[in-house]
Amino acid sequence: TRLILATRNAGKISELRAILADAGLDHELVGADAYPEIPDVKETGVTFAENALLKAHALARATGLPAVADDSGLCVDVLNGAPGIFSARWAGRHGDDRANLELLLAQLSDIDDAHRGAHFACAAALALPDGTERVVEGQLRGVLRHVPTGTNGFGYDPVLQPEGENRTCAELSPQEKNAISHRGKAFRALVPVVRELVG
């Protein structure tokens, strides 16, 4: 069976392919880029779960195929959970990882190490063309470094150091990150749901 990955974020797509394959899912995984004629859905939800469901439903409805979607972001304690669902466009232009990272570090420049706690959050949604939906969530807790370090991953990975680690997410191998990440946790929880509802 084909399963649409309702995302255009290249970093997410490569992580999702590895996470879902390692979890034993043998579906043909097709990225949203295979459907350029389908417009991006407006992320009007106020939670990760709502936005993930919006993206999954839009692709499932438009393609007639089951779709999974990811909505995710960085929630900073001292910023009361910001940037949260606005993580991809925190500095203005959607998906400008470098500008987002710089803005975040500027906002935290006066914050000492004891107060730099944060977590990544991910909502993983499944939608079927008939409107059936499921959503599950995962988190990765850590602290925010002052200086970006590492070249793996994407987004805010160079500044988040997971609890119990002395490396940032961008210094972990893809396999190491997927084993502990918000996205790994959420999508591993979604796999049995896909098996039940999609086959």
8 is in an annotated binding site: yes
CA distance 160 to 143: 6
Of 147 and 199, CB closest to ligand ITT: 147
Strands 133-144, 160-162: pairing is antiparallel
Whole-angstrom Cα distance, residue 184 to residue 188?
Answer: 6
Please, which residues bridge with residue 5 across strands?
Answer: 31, 68
Q: What is the residue whose two structure tokens read 């987004």?
A: 155
User: Which residues in 70-129 contact ligand ITT (CB under 6 A)?
Assistant: 70-74, 87-88, 95, 97, 100, 120
Find how far residue 115's CA is from the centre of its chain: 24
Q: Which of 33, 71, 77, 110 is catalytic?
A: 71
Total residues interacting with Na ion, rule: CB under 5 A = 3
Select the binding partner of residue 155 from Na ion, ligand ITT, none (C-beta < 5 to 8 A, by kind): ligand ITT
Give me the count of residues in the chain: 199
Beta bridge partners of 117: 143
Which is nearer to ligand ITT, 27 or 182 (by Cβ)?
182
Give 43 or 137: the residue with its C-beta nearer to Na ion: 43
Site for ligand ITT in 4-33 (CB under 6 A): 7-9, 12
Burial of 56: CB neighbours in 10 Å, binned 0-12, 13-18, 19+: buried
Smallest distance, ligand ITT to C-beta of residue 30, A: 14
Could you say which DSSP state residue 38 is in?
A: S
> What are the residue numbers of the active site?
71
- Can you give the binding site for Na ion, defined by CB under 5 A? 43, 51, 71
- Can you give the binding site for ligand ITT, defined by CB under 6 A? 7-9, 12, 43, 55, 70-74, 87-88, 95, 97, 100, 120, 153-157, 169, 181, 183
